[in-house]
Amino acid sequence: MRTKQTRRVVARSGARANARVLDRVAARFAVAATLAVGVSVAAAATPAVAQVTSGSDPEHELIFSWDRWLDSDELNERMEIMAEQWPEFLTLETIGQSWGGRDLKMMTINNPATGDELDKAAMFIESNVHGNEIQGGEVVIYTIWYLMENYDRIPEIRRLVDERVFYLIPSVNPDGRDWFMDETGSGGRTGHVPVDSDGDGLFDEDGPNDLNGNGVIEQIRKYVPGQGDFIIDPDNANGLRPVGPNERGDYILLGSEGLDDDGDGRVNEDPPGGYDPNRNYASDWQPNYVQGGSMNYPFELPEARAIEDFMVTKPNIAGSQSFHNTGGMILRGPGAAWYGDYPQADVRVYNELGENGERILPWYNYYVVWQGLYAVHGGQLDWANDGHGAVGFSNELWNGGQYYQSPLLREQQQDEDSPIGGGRGSYFFDDYVTFGRNYVEWAPFDHPVYGEVEMGGFRKLQGRVNPRFMSMELFHRNMAFTLYQADEMPLMQMGEAEVERVSGNTFRVRVPIRNDRLMPTILVRARQYNTVRPDILTLEGAEVLMAGWVDEHNFDGTVDRIDQAELDRILVRSGAPGRTTRWIEYLVQGSGSVTIEYSSQKGGTVSTTVNLN
């Protein structure tokens, strides 16, 4: 069983406070604190803390630590604390359960004072579909926290929160996360629906075993002088390297720490899970022999299904981000080239966002999944785009190049004879920057199957997860990219109408309809697949004789007549393009007030009322 050495340090104060003091207060209160007490900490702590009224940088309302990784309980606890702290904006829901019965928690950020949730474009942000790709969970927590803390401080943040809705899920694979965080974490990518990985009719019956009880699944090597494939790197006692053409090796590698649990003669051949939860989405889903780990059908996995069941109730979702690691990438679909690239107009929207993303996120590259990374069938990205008509990105958090960022050190890494070249860089970094925290020294072990061996190697957090002290920049810049994307979601506006009497009770009415953001209300692909409802332009209060788009507003020129049977309810299947204003012209007969409304699922609904006189 897992025991926590220290309680999480969570503190809050209604006013400005001294963070150091608060930390101590919170820690003291936290010793016996349950989650429920987390709330009372605030009540108790506030009077105990000296109010800080000086200082140029005001203290936060909620003080979270950002330099440790959280399991799913801790993520959920932070979500609950924030939901209580900012109830006017935040709503915390459980949208389903994982296979292992863990809640899938989803936070809505919405300012009800600026409109109903479904009338505003929403940004959907999820993370951690691969159990070992944990950082995105913290990015999600940071994003909620940052938006709330700064709502009153930064006008741009206030505007964004007022204009938009956010749906955020810190972990869509909490079973995988907790396996990675609280257990050994070996083979952490999968979810935990049992799968018969070795085809013997049994499920998950032979996973790795922590033989020496140190909480780490290590690598096993055996010393076989002169008969192995590896030798110890003469310049790095901890490192093994493959033998060259004329060398003889002293070691063989025997895989991960484990036993033949099911007595079939093989070791670790049917570990927990054994699939890829991000191949279980419904666009270009492919069977296992084409796309490994896809399971038997789309949304078979309870987690993917819960997310889909949630998303279909939110047609206002116009943007999507799915955080992964690793490699420093801003990925767009399609996942496979032969499924067909996105239409050119959609690609250009992605390009502008992706290229600016590279500027917001140094060390990150904007790629198309199949071209820049590898082919993915049935991933979340494609389903967000194709199934929901939302512009979808997936960021691969953390680039290993960030260990040695300067041009000088990058050059040295390429130098075989440098202490950080020849594959020695990660050892050097761990020795001198993280003080050996990420490494288990090789040590002898008497293995029941392999005999005298040695076990050791890097711990699970090495490599794919950034060092803790580098988290803040990663969190903030990735959040900044999603906020930029959210800001470029469609936003419909209607300008002032012009009314002109043509004769008698016949009037010409012109109204400017504007979307001044980058994204259109309907992607071309969404129109082709009919996955988004068309925009609908209605006129109430008079009879419409004719309607059309004004070619050139400044001239009394021609109008592109709209050839539809119902001119008081015009379907706009192609939506409102980005950064454009279009004028609609009606010829109407009637008197009194007339209301013109433009309704879109992803850019809101706007209307204006004019008087015919």
Partner 1 sequence: MVRALAAGIAVMIGFATAATTVEAQQGYQTYDQMTDAIQGIVGDSDVASVTSIGQSREGRDIWLITLADDGDLPAEDRPGVLMVGTLSGDLVSGSSISVGAVEWLIDQNGSNEEVTRLLSRNVVYVVPRLNPDGAEEFFGDVEWGRRGNAWDEDDDNDARMGEDGPNDLNGDGAITVMRVPDRSGDLILHPDDPRFMKEADPSAGESGTHRLYIEGTDDDGDGFIAEDGPGGVDLDRNFQHAYPYWEADAGRHMVSEPESRAIMDFLVERVNIAAMLTFGHSDNLVVPPNGQGNLDAPRTFDLIDWAAASNDGVFDVGVFPGQTNFGNLRQRGAQPGANNPPEQGQRPVMTFNGQDRPYFEAVSEAYREITGIERTGYNREAEGALFQFGYFQYGIPSFSTQGWGLPEAEGETFEQRYLNAMEAEGLDTWIEWQPFDHPTLGAVEIGGFYPNRTVGPPPAALPGLGAPHGEFIARLGGMLPNVRFVEATAEAIGGGLWKVDAVVENTGYFPTTIAHGQRNGAVDPTLVQIQIDADDIVSGDAKTARTNRIEGSGATAGYSWIIQGSAGQTIEITSRAMKGGRDTITVTLGGDR
Chain residues 399-418 in contact with partner 1, contact rule CB under 8 A: none
> What is the DSSP track for 245-260?
TT--EEEEEEEESB--
* CA 34 – CA 473 distance, rounded (Å): 31
Chain residues 272-291 in contact with partner 1, contact rule CB under 8 A: 282-283, 285-291
Q: What separation in angstroms does the CA of 493 have from each of 19, 65, 122, 580, 601? A: 43, 41, 17, 11, 14
Whether residue 511 contacts residue 584, with contact meaning beta carbons closer than 8 Å, is answered with yes
Q: Which is nearer to partner 1, 389 or 456 (CB)?
A: 389
338 or 432, CB closer to partner 1?
A: 338
Smallest separation, CB 595 to partner 1 (Å): 18
Give the integer Cα–Cα distance in Å for 262 and 221: 23
Q: Which amino acid is at 198?
A: D
Site membership for partner 1, residue 263 (CB under 8 A) = yes
Q: Does 591 bind partner 1 (CB under 8 A)?
A: no
User: Quick check: 259 binds partner 1 (CB under 8 A)?
Assistant: no
CA 556, distance to chain mean position in Å, is 49
For the chain, helix, strand, coil in percent to 5 are 30, 25, 45
Q: Which of 125, 570, 577 is nearest to 343 (CA)?
A: 577
Point out which span in 62-70, 142-150, 207-215, 561-569 binds partner 1 (CB under 8 A). Answer: 561-569
Q: State yes or no: residue 266 binds partner 1 (CB under 8 A).
A: yes
Nearest approach in angstroms of CB 447 to partner 1 is: 12
Closest residue by Cα to residue 17 from 54, 67, 65: 54
Minimum CB separation of residue 149 from partner 1 in Å reads 33
Closest contact distance (angstroms) between CB of 492 and partner 1 is 14
Q: Name the residue among 573, 578, 566 with its Cα closest to residue 603.
A: 578
- Distances, alpha carbon 476 to alpha carbons 66, 86, 142, 189, in Å: 11, 20, 8, 25
Smallest gap from residue 311 Cβ to partner 1 (A): 11
Interaction of residue 423 with partner 1, rule CB under 8 A:
no
| Minimum distance of partner 1 from residue 211's CB (angstroms) | 17
Preceding peptide of 326 cis, ω within 30°: yes
**Count of Cβ atoms closer than 10 Å to residue 399 Cβ:** 20
CB 52 within 8 A of CB 18: yes
Near partner 1 by CB under 8 A: residue from 371, 593, 611, 613: 371
Binders of partner 1 among residues 222 to 241 (CB under 8 A) are none
497/519 with CB nearer partner 1: 519
Q: Which of 146, 251, 299, 507 binds partner 1 (CB under 8 A)?
A: 299
Tell me, letter by letter, the H, E, C secondary structure of 471-501: HHHHHHHHHHHHHHHHHCCCCEEECCCEEEE
Structure tokens at 387: 């199934």
Please report, as residue ranges, which positions from 328 to 347 form the binding site for partner 1 (by CB under 8 A).
329, 332, 336-338, 345, 347
User: Across-strand partners of 568?
Assistant: none
Of the two residues 370 and 398, which places its CB atom closer to partner 1 in the complex? 370
Residue ranges in 565-584 that form contacts with partner 1 under rule CB under 8 A: 565-566, 570-574, 577-580, 582
348, 410, 437, 561: which one contacts partner 1 (CB under 8 A)? 348
Rounded least distance, CB 297 to partner 1, Å: 4
Minimum distance of partner 1 from residue 383's CB (angstroms): 8
Residues in binding contact with partner 1, number by CB under 8 A: 77
Question: Closer to partner 1 at the Cβ: 479 or 550?
Answer: 550
Spatial separation of the C-alpha atoms in residues 143 and 66, rounded to whole Å: 12
Q: What is the DSSP letter of 335?
A: S
Q: Of 101-109, 257-265, 420-428, 478-486, which part binds partner 1 (CB under 8 A)?
A: 257-265
At 304, list the tokens: 């993917």
Of residues 65 and 558, the one with the C-beta less far from partner 1: 558
Please, which of residues 141-200 interact with partner 1 by CB under 8 A? 196, 199-200
Judged by CB under 8 A, does residue 351 bind partner 1? yes
State the nearest-atom distance from the C-beta of 424 to partner 1, in Å.
Answer: 25
For residue 34, what are its two tokens? 């349950």
Distance CA 569, CA 539 (A): 7
Q: What Å distances lie between residue 344 and 85, 158, 351, 493, 525, CA to CA?
A: 44, 34, 10, 26, 10
Binding-site member from 144, 375, 539, 587 for partner 1 (CB under 8 A): 375
Number of neighbouring beta carbons within 10 Å of residue 411 = 12
Stretch that binds partner 1, among 90-98, 210-218, 348-356, 539-547 (CB under 8 A): 348-356
Between residue 501 and residue 560, which ones bind partner 1 under the rule CB under 8 A? 518-520, 527-531, 533-534, 536, 549, 560
Cβ proximity to partner 1: between 65 and 580 the closer is 580
Separation between Cα atoms, residue 85 and residue 598, nearest integer Å:
36
Footprint (CB under 8 A) of partner 1, residues 27-66: none
Residues 101-130 that bind partner 1 (CB under 8 A): none
Q: Which is nearer to partner 1, 157 or 571 (CB)?
A: 571
